[in-house]
Amino acid sequence: MCAPWAAVTCFSPTTPPGAWRGTSKSSAAWASSPPPATISPPWTPPSGLKAALPGKTCYVFGTDSFLSQLDRAGIPVTRDREQAEVLLCGFDTELTFQKLEDACILLNRGVPFVATNPDWVCPTWYGSVPDCGSVCRMLTTATGREPVVIGKPQPQMALLAMERTGFSPEQTVLLGDRLYTDVACGVNAGIDTVFVLSGEGTMADIDTYRIHPTWVYPDIGTLYRELEETV
């Protein structure tokens, strides 16, 4: 069985396995079956930023790869806080205290605070590390400023995936292991969702976040075997 699919991810599509360095399973899956379309923050923020903050220069609180992709997409970017008009935060495996200091200075000046995703943790082979949401929470604690999230759980990434692959909402399902980002993105986009319990999420999250997936499976393997039986 081979169904069309797209990766809707907060990671850069240009640097696996580096961008997926935390999970050997993800790296192996990506290498063996790369998606025909990859929808990630470097592709979704440009349209949102251009619409909301046209021409504004973004201080990129993220990896060099993230900065380069935004630059290629036509977003004015900088690492110089004196030139920055927006603080844009993403998952940053190259985090330094200088970036934290720059971010706090910018937020205390009142620049817009934008984040790619609110995920608390990123899984690794040794456990979890802080993801964009946790680092943004640290900045919020220090400055009192809250970010505006432009990636998941907003629906744009799922909508863009459907646009690129040519499928309607009725033909589309979003599968993810985080209720408050992945499944919420699908719900907000008006498509069916599958919540898998092999990652961060648990059944208790459904009551906690009051977000209801269409289906729940213990893992992707169980879902795959069930789909095989129906073909």
Predicted confidence (pLDDT) per residue in 167-177, tens digit: 999 999 999 99
Please tell me the least confidently modeled range out of 85-89, 99-103, 162-166: 162-166
Residue with tokens 């499976």: 217
Tell me what the pLDDT averaged over the chain comes to: 84
Higher pLDDT, 143 or 154: 143
What's the helix, strand, coil split of the chain in %, to 5? 40, 20, 40
Confidence of residue 130 (pLDDT cuts 50, 70, 90): very high
Q: What is the pLDDT of residue 123?
A: 86
What global pTM score does this model have? Answer: 0.75
pLDDT at 40 over 90: no
Q: Measure CA 95 to chain center.
A: 17
Cα 95–Cα 77–Cα 147 angle in degrees, nearest 5 = 60
Backbone angles phi, psi at 46, to 5 degrees: -50, -45
Rounded Cα distance between 121 and 72, Å, is: 28
Instruction: Report the b/e string of 60-77 with b at 16+ CB within 10 A.
Output: bbbbebbbebbeeeebbb
Q: Measure CA 8 to chain center.
A: 7
pLDDT at 24 over 80: no
Higher pLDDT, 201 or 14: 201
Please state the rounded mean pLDDT for residues 155-173: 90
Both tokens of residue 187? 């719900």
